[in-house]
Amino acid sequence: MQQRYEYTFVRLNVGIFSNKAEQEYQETIHRHARTGWRLVQVFSPGIGIYGSATFYELIFERPVS
Protein backbone atom coordinates (compact mmCIF):
# COMPACT_ATOMS: atom_id res chain seq x y z
CA MET A 1 0.00 0.00 0.00
CA GLN A 2 1.26 3.48 -0.85
CA GLN A 3 2.07 5.90 1.95
CA ARG A 4 -0.30 8.88 2.12
CA TYR A 5 0.63 12.33 3.39
CA GLU A 6 -1.12 15.39 4.70
CA TYR A 7 0.19 18.90 4.18
CA THR A 8 0.08 22.20 5.98
CA PHE A 9 1.13 25.62 4.71
CA VAL A 10 2.47 28.38 6.96
CA ARG A 11 2.85 31.91 5.58
CA LEU A 12 5.41 34.21 7.19
CA ASN A 13 5.26 37.86 6.22
CA VAL A 14 8.58 39.55 5.58
CA GLY A 15 8.93 43.26 6.14
CA ILE A 16 11.66 45.33 4.55
CA PHE A 17 13.01 46.21 7.98
CA SER A 18 12.24 42.88 9.64
CA ASN A 19 15.27 41.46 11.41
CA LYS A 20 13.12 38.82 13.16
CA ALA A 21 12.34 36.89 9.96
CA GLU A 22 15.20 34.40 10.37
CA GLN A 23 14.35 33.66 14.00
CA GLU A 24 10.64 33.36 13.18
CA TYR A 25 11.07 30.80 10.41
CA GLN A 26 13.48 28.71 12.49
CA GLU A 27 11.08 28.65 15.44
CA THR A 28 8.21 27.72 13.12
CA ILE A 29 10.17 24.79 11.66
CA HIS A 30 11.16 23.50 15.11
CA ARG A 31 7.60 23.83 16.43
CA HIS A 32 6.15 21.84 13.52
CA ALA A 33 8.91 19.22 13.69
CA ARG A 34 8.03 18.49 17.34
CA THR A 35 4.52 17.51 16.20
CA GLY A 36 5.65 15.23 13.38
CA TRP A 37 5.74 17.64 10.42
CA ARG A 38 8.66 17.62 7.97
CA LEU A 39 9.65 20.73 6.02
CA VAL A 40 9.54 19.95 2.29
CA GLN A 41 9.79 23.38 0.67
CA VAL A 42 10.08 27.11 1.23
CA PHE A 43 8.20 29.14 -1.38
CA SER A 44 9.01 32.84 -1.74
CA PRO A 45 7.64 34.54 -4.83
CA GLY A 46 9.43 37.71 -5.92
CA ILE A 47 6.51 40.12 -5.94
CA GLY A 48 7.82 43.05 -3.89
CA ILE A 49 10.07 45.95 -4.73
CA TYR A 50 12.84 44.91 -7.15
CA GLY A 51 11.51 41.36 -7.18
CA SER A 52 12.07 40.74 -3.47
CA ALA A 53 9.78 38.42 -1.57
CA THR A 54 7.08 39.91 0.64
CA PHE A 55 6.34 36.58 2.33
CA TYR A 56 7.67 33.06 2.71
CA GLU A 57 5.39 30.05 2.65
CA LEU A 58 6.70 27.00 4.48
CA ILE A 59 5.26 23.70 3.25
CA PHE A 60 5.25 20.77 5.68
CA GLU A 61 4.15 17.15 5.29
CA ARG A 62 3.60 14.17 7.56
CA PRO A 63 2.40 10.63 6.99
CA VAL A 64 -1.29 9.88 7.47
CA SER A 65 -1.90 6.79 9.59
**pLDDT tens string 25-55:** 889 999 999 999 999 999 888 776 777 778 8
Q: What total number of domains does the chain contain? A: 1
Split at pLDDT 50, 70, 90, the class of 15 is low
Asked whether residue 17 carries a pLDDT value surpassing 60, the answer given is: no
Strand ranges (DSSP E) for the chain? Answer: 5-13, 38-43, 55-63
Backbone angles phi, psi at 4, to 5 degrees: -105, 150
Residue 37's domain spans which residues?
Answer: 5-63
Q: What is the pTM of this model?
A: 0.79
Amino acid at 64: V
